[in-house]
Structure formats: C-alpha cells, structure tokens
Amino acid sequence: MSKAFTKSVLFQFNKIFRRLKSFVSHHAHPPPSPPLPAPETMTAAADVTVCKVEGGLLTSPSTFPYFMLVALEAGGLLRGLILLILYPILLLGHDHAIKVMAMVSFAGIRKDGFRLGTAVMPKLFLDDVSEEVFEAATAMAGDRRRRRVVCVTAMPREMVEPFLKEYLAVDAVVAPEMRTIRGYYTGLMEDDGEVMKRVDMDEVIGGDDRVVVVGIAGIGRSFHQLFQNYCKEVYVATTESARRRRRRLHPRRYAKPLIFHDGRVAFRPTPAATLATFMWLPLAFPLAVLRTAIFLLLPFSLSVPLLAALGMHCRHISHAAAGLNLFVCNHRSLLDPLYVSAVSARADLAAATYSISRLSEMLAPIRTFRLTRDRAADRAAMQAHLSSSSSGGCGGGLVVCPEGTTCREPFLLRFSPLFTELGADVQPVALHSEVGIFHGTTASGWKLLDPFYLLMNPSPAYVLQFLDPVAVGERRGGPEVANEVQRRIAEALGYACTALTRRDKYLVLAGNDGVVAVAGNDKSRGN
C-alpha cells in the first residue's frame, strides 16, 4: 500500500510541476504566432544572417550556466551561492532574468582584470553551439559567397564577443555593454535603445538596399526591432524539443581550435549541477585534507591503495623499462611526477619544476628539482643529478615535462629539446587525467591551491602509459628527438601535436608571457 501511495504522490507532483513549467514558459517565452519554418529552409539568396544567440545559435534555452560561471570564477563561491538562491525568481522572464544575473555576477568586478570572456567562457559556449543553426547562418549566398553573420544577444558583450569572433568567425556582435564606475562594473547594462544608437546598423548589416537579410530568432524580446526592421524573413525553432535534437558543432568547424582555457570550474554549472557542488563542498574540504595527509605521510606502497579507497583512481598501461632514469611526460597537473613515481615504484625520482611555491616544494612527497630558465645552468644541474644516480651517488631519476605548462584539451604543446641534451635515454610516459568538478590547474590563479583543488574532486582519475624507450644518439639533433617523443605520446593518447609554447598559452589566458619576476612567488605562472 505504501509503495502505491508513494507512486501516486510522485505522479501528482510531476503533473503539477509540468503544469507550472508550462505556465511559466508560456508567459516568459510566448511561442511565435504563426509557427515559422526551421532554419534549414532559409532563403538561399540571403546575403546577411542576423542570428539570436540565446535559443538560436545556442542549443540550451537557459543562460544561467554562463552567468554562474562568471559568478564563481570572478566573484567566488559566495557570489555563486547568491545567484543560485535567486534562481526561482529568474524563471519569471528571460530578459529580466539576464539583468538580474548580470547584476549579481558583475557588480564590483574590476574591468581591467576581467579576462573570462577570452580565457574561460569560450569552452562553455562552444559546447552548446548548434551545428544546424550555425550551418544555416553561415551558408553560402546566391553567388557562393559566405553569408555575413551578425549575432545578437541580451548577454553582456564582454562575455560573448570573444568566443563569437575568435572561434566562430562571426562578423559583428550586437550586445549591451556593462556600465562601469572608476574601473569597476556596476552590474547594470545598456538597454536596447542605447545599443542601437552606439552601433551603426547600416555598417553592420551592409548599408545597401539590395542586401537580403534573414534572421534566426531565439528566446527573449531583446532587439526584436532589429529583426522587424532589417530582416526579410525570420526563422525560429518551433518547439523546445526541436532545439534539444540539435547536434553540437564539431570542433573541426571552429575558425581556430580551442586549445587553451582557464578557470577552476570543470563542469557545466546548471542549477542542478551547481546545487550538487555546493552540497559536496562540506565533504570536499576534509576529504582533500585527508588525501593530502596520506600523500605526505605514507609511503607509496600504503598511500596508493588507501587513496584508491578514497576515490582516487589510477590505471597504468604497460610498465616502465628497467635501467632508465629520465622520464619524459606530457603535463596534466602538478601531481604528474607523483603518479609516475608511484606507478614505476621509483621512490628516488625527482620532479623538475619551475616557479612552484616554496611551500609546495617543502610538502612534496618526492624530491623537487627547481629549474631557473637559464638553459646552460639547468642542463648542467640536471646532468649532474643524473650522473650521480648512475654512478651510485645520492642522486636519482628525473621526471620532466618538456611542454613547460599544462594543457587541458587533447593537444600537446611543443616539447623543449633540453631533455635531449642530457645524454640519457628517454622513457616516454603518456598521461591522461579526468576531473569532475574542479580543474587542478590555473594560469592566472594561485598555483599553491592547484593540488588541493584537484584532490577536492570526488573521483579524480589518471591513466599512465609507459611507451617504448627512445635512444638519444649523437647523430640526431635535439629537436628531432623531442619531436619524436612528442609524436609518440600524442599517438598513444590520440592527441594532436602543436608548435605552441607556454608563452603562447599565457599570452592568451593571462595577458603575460608566463615568466615569474620574483623567485618563490606563490602566485606564480609556472604551469
């Protein structure tokens, strides 16, 4: 009887919830009347496409995850919690909700330090771009020219313009700007009228009466006059289910590959996922402390099974070759050398590091070998370390990450050939890591907290593959060997090799070249 009663209650609750959702959706986003065709049937002779971002270009009708990402990354957990608490109010109207979310997310943030639009937001936006709508918007015009694409959005320009122009090659973006006072965002945005006065629409559209303009509408009423005044025809997805059936834009269609992105948040911060994260945090902090203590206080023979019981998964493919002391791997996090040491059962390994904090060096369970970026001095010091290990001295093996910095996406940065000048055969190690909530790397944040954030994930995972050794012969140049090691690791992981360097990464994500001016500074740019 109790089981039947429970099913009955759940059925009635679900019925009420569907009615409430339908009521809110009808009043917040009234359906078009009459229904319009799908974007795929757009006029082939069109020269310009005006495309709404929310509910048009983007598959998801909700903009909450994007503002939550800004709140968490730029403002912190408290600001994110405030935005989450306000979520029920945001269901009452799309355009009003964006203004409220912008106020909570941006108010008090320094304008000069806001790099999320370039460094963090593109990853989240690109994961939500509809391939069907993008193809319809960028289809060839009547004379086989690519259509000019103008994207329209009620979200702040600071959030959306970098991803639209850099990764989708959109020609123009019409969006409100955030107001500022003395270099700080107030949380208030321009209204539609102010944007239309600031933007020369004749220049954006083309300024020629013979230009045929079509529109792809989305959610909300912002800039509706633009569609009415300039578009010959306007198309929309007629139902929410049609939007959900859209395919995600394949990365091959990007104007340039997404290789670098920053930020701590590793998940799409929907309301449910964000709520689950806040519920996890009270457990995450003590769990990370416990895992750290196990890493530091116990030998690998004891710490590895204990950490596995605490949710840290590690799997290795093949074994390290005997007699090799130089391990070369791609860089995923500061814990890379620890996993190599544990899996290879080599407690004598040292990690070659650059610009990590002194506290991190003191707490490291294996020896650290600090590099100075002085090529001659670093080569001499590493050679001495390896020579002492081979002659039975107090040295040991060495783990190096020749990328010089971490890369989250399936790409390998250019390998520095310095390790090929040490005269030792190389043991390549391919590393793959996965996290669920927090990234354990950052380009602009506090490096001291990187391992702690990684350990706060419920089930961080590592996969190690020891590849066939590479002999360093005298007849082969350093770059040739470095490229071969890079290629082997890339093939094992299914990654793509690039010629990009750590300097390229930091110019994109932090606006600097990644060089630390003061040795030992905790807020370093080393990884």
pLDDT at 365: 81
pLDDT at 70: 97
Domain boundary among 253, 271, 300: 253
Asked if 302 and 429 sit in the same domain, the reply is yes
Residue 224 lies in a domain: yes
Asked if 237 and 290 sit in the same domain, the reply is no
| pTM, rounded to two decimals | 0.86
432 forms beta bridges with 463
Residue 275 lies in a domain: no
Residue 27 lies in a domain: no
pLDDT at 364: 77
**Under DSSP, is residue 419 helix (H, G, I), strand (E, B) or coil?**
helix
pLDDT at 416: 92
pLDDT at 1: 44
Asked if 383 and 310 sit in the same domain, the reply is yes
pLDDT at 31: 43
How many domains, the chain? 2
Domain boundary among 253, 269, 297: 253
C-alpha–C-alpha distance, residues 104 and 75, integer Å: 9
Residue 525 lies in a domain: no
Residue 331 lies in a domain: yes
- Domain containing residue 332: 282-510
Are 216 and 51 a contacting pair, CB within 8 Å? yes
Q: What is the mean pLDDT of the chain?
A: 85
Asked if 53 and 183 sit in the same domain, the reply is yes
Question: Tokens 């070369």 appear where?
Answer: 328
Asked if 299 and 156 sit in the same domain, the reply is no
Asked if 472 and 394 sit in the same domain, the reply is yes
Asked if 238 and 292 sit in the same domain, the reply is no
- Sequence-ordered alpha helix ranges (H) in 2-91: 2-28, 64-70, 77-85, 87-90
Residue 197 CB-density burial (10 A; 0-12 exposed, 13-18 middle, 19+ buried)? exposed
pLDDT at 326: 93
pLDDT at 54: 93
Are 358 and 526 a contacting pair, CB within 8 Å? no
Give 221's contacts (C-beta < 8 A, 6+ positions apart): 95
Asked if 352 and 488 sit in the same domain, the reply is yes
Asked if 240 and 289 sit in the same domain, the reply is no
30-47 residues labelled b (16+ CB within 10 A) or e (exposed): eeeeeeeeebeebbeebb
Asked if 124 and 220 sit in the same domain, the reply is yes
pLDDT at 180: 96
Are 246 and 218 a contacting pair, CB within 8 Å? no
pLDDT at 9: 43
C-alpha–C-alpha distance, residues 57 and 297, integer Å: 52
Residue 131 lies in a domain: yes
Q: How many CA atoms lie within 13 A of 329 on its CB side?
A: 29
pLDDT at 244: 63
Residue 48 lies in a domain: yes
Residue 262 lies in a domain: no
Per-residue pLDDT of the chain (527 residues; tens, 9 = 90+): 445 544 454 454 455 445 444 544 444 444 443 344 555 556 667 789 999 999 899 988 899 999 999 999 999 999 999 999 999 988 878 889 999 999 999 999 999 989 999 999 999 999 999 998 898 888 865 555 678 899 999 999 999 999 999 999 999 999 999 999 999 999 999 999 999 999 988 888 876 777 888 999 888 888 888 888 888 888 876 556 566 667 899 999 999 999 999 999 999 999 999 999 999 999 999 999 999 999 888 988 899 899 999 999 999 888 888 888 999 999 999 899 999 998 998 888 888 887 676 767 777 788 887 887 788 888 888 888 888 765 555 567 899 999 989 999 999 999 999 999 888 899 999 999 999 999 999 988 888 889 899 999 999 999 999 999 998 865 466 889 999 999 999 999 999 999 999 999 999 998 887 765 544 444 445 56
Asked if 106 and 175 sit in the same domain, the reply is yes
Are 214 and 46 a contacting pair, CB within 8 Å? yes
CA 29 to chain CA mean position, Å = 30
Asked if 306 and 441 sit in the same domain, the reply is yes
